[in-house]
Chain A
């Protein structure tokens, strides 16, 4: 089943077409990679899906529902979570609070119950804390729960961001360069983590990444963007040998000039 279907999606900043007539889909439980040179419009695609930019035209259908006009928080509530290229943690808050904030939509007690500290409130707080603990333990961050997020080492900040996204209980997870700034060892760990998350939580993942080892290893299908257009799509090995992709990354030999 196709969980997300994007058709004819376009987005422009002034005269620049950041995304032009893009079509793609994601199957349930799939890991889809989006790659492309810098400025190809990869992050813009994420911002369009999560509602941060309004598309110029085109449709985004998530689980059979059009979402292109919804607000970001509504889209999250439908089950799309994302991380950012540069971690956007709640820097001054503890690791625990970072995760608990993400559970906001799942556990919401009426404001009057909150004010009166009713039994429902106390119950929900307890459940929330318990679930936050489960998630933190899963991501090996539970020992760090009382630490301020910005004091974590970079790799753990990245992991916390994924943990926080998972706390929103998503069906589809969008990861924007999760391995950026990681050393090969950390990147390797991340690969294991991502495929483990997919199997454990039964979710679909779209991944933007520059580390080719990461993409080639875990993605089942890859689409390649250049200047906002899809130039290739297929299995990792097909992409690796696609001349168009090589051209987009390395440029073309100007044969005509030479001869």
Chain B
């Protein structure tokens, strides 16, 4: 057990270190990798709500905006003060600690909002919930537009650049582990059962309201973190980054990758991040080809590329065990 933790920590350190090495990369590729990571966090967290709990939410950009703006505002207005408070540490470590705390606060603020929004709206089902969450996303955007302290419609400049690939990898792994560990547990099965049949799930003694809200809060938390990473990478935020279309883009990632598949979310995020860039060679036909490819994928695999399944090295092990079992029964 202990050894597993140690191995995990070593893997995380290695991957985060890999992120540092990637600084030598072409800045263009580097940026694509960063956005892939951030998009993966967004897609995985939305998949917990939409794919696993089956609650159709399309307000994810709203949570991202809340987390992004909140942590950025902390960085801009209180960042220097907190860093100087930690003057017993070397400057770069103090920056790391403060950034970590601010990101976390952004995520928590977003999660609290998720709780406040989730309790009343999660009574709704299907399309109604979609409209309510869409409304939430718009409320957030319009509120930010009118908040002078974060620049309103002019945008919010002057955010220190703190995010690099290492940060993105770190949070990516945390998000992946949290969602995976929840899904493959008694709690996760409770969440999935709500998607399958809410009434039956309630009859099995599952507090469906609690689990719906829990999925919503965790999703909102990681969306907030992703927003914070996004803001501290671009050094500038603008309300137009968090429109309805942003939410739809995240939704597209999970539909494309597979509802109810963590690895599918990562794959979907990859496709939607890389494809528009890879098609730059087609100049004005770019968006046409982009749409055609998306339509093509959905026609060929309407359930998404992974379609609720997961890819993991364990699958190979499982298949191997199955084959062996079959051989054993045959030899008997």
Query: Using a CB–CB distance below 8 Å, which chain A residues touch chain B?
Result: 50, 52, 71-73, 76-77, 81-82, 84, 88-93, 97, 100-105, 107-109, 111, 114-117, 119, 121-122, 124-125, 128, 164-165, 168
Contacts and interface: CB of A to CB of B under 8 A. Distances in A.
A117 B181 contact: yes
B255 to A, nearest CB: 17
Contact of A125 (B185, B204, B205, B208): B185
Contact of B205 (A88, A93, A100, A102): A102
A101 B181 contact: no
Interface stretch (B65-73, B100-108, B192-200, B290-298): B192-200
A72 B208 CA distance: 10
A168 B204 contact: yes
Given A88-B197, A117-B181, A128 B204 contact: no
B199 A52 contact: yes
Given A88-B197, A92-B196, A114-B181, A109 B186 contact: yes
Contact of B203 (A82, A107, A115, A116): A82
Contact of A89 (B177, B182, B200): B200
B200 A84 contact: yes
A114 B205 contact: no
Contacts of B207: 71, 73
B96 interface: no
A97 B193 CA distance: 9
Given A109-B185, A111-B187, A114-B182, A101 B201 contact: yes
8 contacts: A90-B196, A92-B196, A101-B192, A104-B186, A109-B186, A115-B181, A125-B185, A168-B204
B204 A104 contact: yes
Interface in B151-200: 177-178, 181-182, 185-187, 189-190, 192-193, 196-197, 199-200
B186 A114 contact: yes
Contacts of B135: none
Contacts, number: 96
Contact of B185 (A52, A72, A114): A114
Contacts of A93: 192-193, 196
Nearest to B189: A101
The interface residues of chain B, by DSSP majority, are classed as helix
Nearest to B198: A88
B186 A102 contact: no
B181 A104 contact: no
B204 A101 contact: yes
B202 interface: yes
Contacts of B182: 111, 114-115
B197 A90 contact: yes
Contacts of B196: 90-93
A121 B189 contact: no
A228 B178 CA distance: 50
Interface string B1-35: 10010000000000000000000000000000000
B187 A114 contact: yes
A52 B192 CA distance: 21
A101 B197 CA distance: 12
Contact of B208 (A73, A97, A103, A117): A73
Nearest to A106: B205
B203 A101 contact: no
Contacts of A115: 177-178, 181-182
A93 to B, nearest CB: 6
